[in-house]
Amino acid sequence: MRMKKRVSRFAAIVAFTILFLHTFPLMALAGEAITPGKPINPGSPINPGKAITPGNAITPGNSLKPGNPISPGTPIQPGTPINPGKPVKPGNGDGIDPNSPWAQPDKGENTDGKTNPSDNETPSVQEGKSPSKTGVDGRNSKTSTTDPGNEPILDNPIYKASKWVLKDLIMNGIEIGADADDGVATFSQIDWKKANFSQFGDKAIRAALGEVIDGDSEGALAAKFALDSMSGYDNYKAVSNFLKTPSEIKSSYQLLKAVNNLSFNEVSSLNKVRNFGSFLSDISKPMEINKTTFLGKIALPFAAVNAGISSYETVTNFSNGEVNKGIASLGETLMSGAVIASATGLGAPVATGLAVVGGALWAGAKIYEHRKTIVKAIKDPVGTAVKAGKGIVEGVSKMTGKIAGWFS
């Protein structure tokens, strides 16, 4: 009996001990609150009613600890990545405004690399009004549409095709045919078997390529330089028709120089001008136009047509701000005017003056236009020729594509 009582007491003590060991940690936890940065240890109870204190950002490399939340207040700067350890702080006016264009979906309008949307705003289009032709930088921008009716007139394929057919097919062909069978009085009397069709084809093809080759690629620029060089040689031969031989010109120039080297008292400024007029008359050669032949009959109207086209392009180019192109077309106008002057009997010096000045204006404008390509051609003539060939191939491909598109 006594033994049973001892066993019962021992069992009670063991049971009480087990109960105490299980309940003691819970009792200990009720006595200590969570400290920021201090792990929760057995015996540290959660103290309800005390919030986690904000204020410290998350530092790279450190574990997330109670009391280190992301603090509001630091904005995201446009173009600046979010660096670890630097919290996001919206709300101080330097961040992204939800109503700002930066927060709107990208519509492809900010394409110039600017970081301020206000610098790249496009003019609004009011109802009933056509959109402005002025680009974001204030310069006139060409329309990107492929509709021939909306392109600038000088770039319009219809205008280019009409000009090419009139000048380079019809007029050029008639001139070559009449020149080959010089002496005939009417068009029906021309013997076309004598015509130089290779010369006709050369000019027609060059003119066509000059109209279709476009763009600022190295190949296109080299091709345009090559074509203009050949046109320059043609213009040189045309101007030479109004001038005497180089030896005669040299003799006349030496005489002018000798006269003008006299003292100022002996040769006044007015006399120097007169001397230059005499010099121009001495070097001039009247253009031979036999008005009884068919070639002579068409010289004046054909020159008038060329002058009219060049005059229109001159005015249009200057109006569009294309000064260099305007100077080149003005030169073409004056060269056509030289033929008119000869055909109307204004005199050889007048015709020669128009031809020389016109040729100089055209040559100067083309040299300025191709100045960079000229430097490259001097340094690497073979490479420039290869690029010109590629540019011509690209131009032909573009031309055939456009023609196919018209009939599709």
Phi, psi of 284, deg, nearest 5: -80, 145
Q: Using CA atoms, how far apart are residues 367 and 378, in angstroms rounded to an integer?
A: 13
What sign does the CA torsion over 169, 170, 173, 179 have?
Answer: negative
pLDDT for residue 373 is more than 60 = yes
Tokens representing 345 are 């009997």
- State pLDDT tens for residues 243-296: 988 888 888 888 877 776 654 445 566 666 677 778 888 888 888 788 888 888
Is residue 109's pLDDT more than 50?
no
Residue 49 has pLDDT above 70, yes or no: no
At 47, give phi and psi (nearest 5°): -90, 100
H or E element in which residue 384 lies: helix 381-406
pLDDT of res. 188: 85
377: nearest Cα among 366, 368, 369, 388: 388
Q: Nearest-CA neighbor of 87 among 66, 77, 73? A: 73
Residues 6 or more apart whose CB falls under 8 angstroms from that of 273 comprise none
Task: Give the pLDDT band of residue 145 (cuts 50, 70, 90).
Answer: very low
Q: Report long-range pairs for 189-198 (Cβ below 8 Å, ≥24 apart).
A: 189/294, 190/294
Mean of all residue pLDDT scores within the chain: 73
pLDDT (average), residues 145-166 = 75
| Range picked from 114-128, 162-176, 327-341 for highest mean pLDDT | 327-341
Say which residue, 220 or 259, is predicted with more confidence: 220
The DSSP line for 8-52 is: HHHHHHHHHHHHHHHHHHHHHHTT----TT----TT----TT-PP
Lowest mean pLDDT among 121-135, 162-176, 320-334: 121-135
Residue-level pLDDT at 205: 87
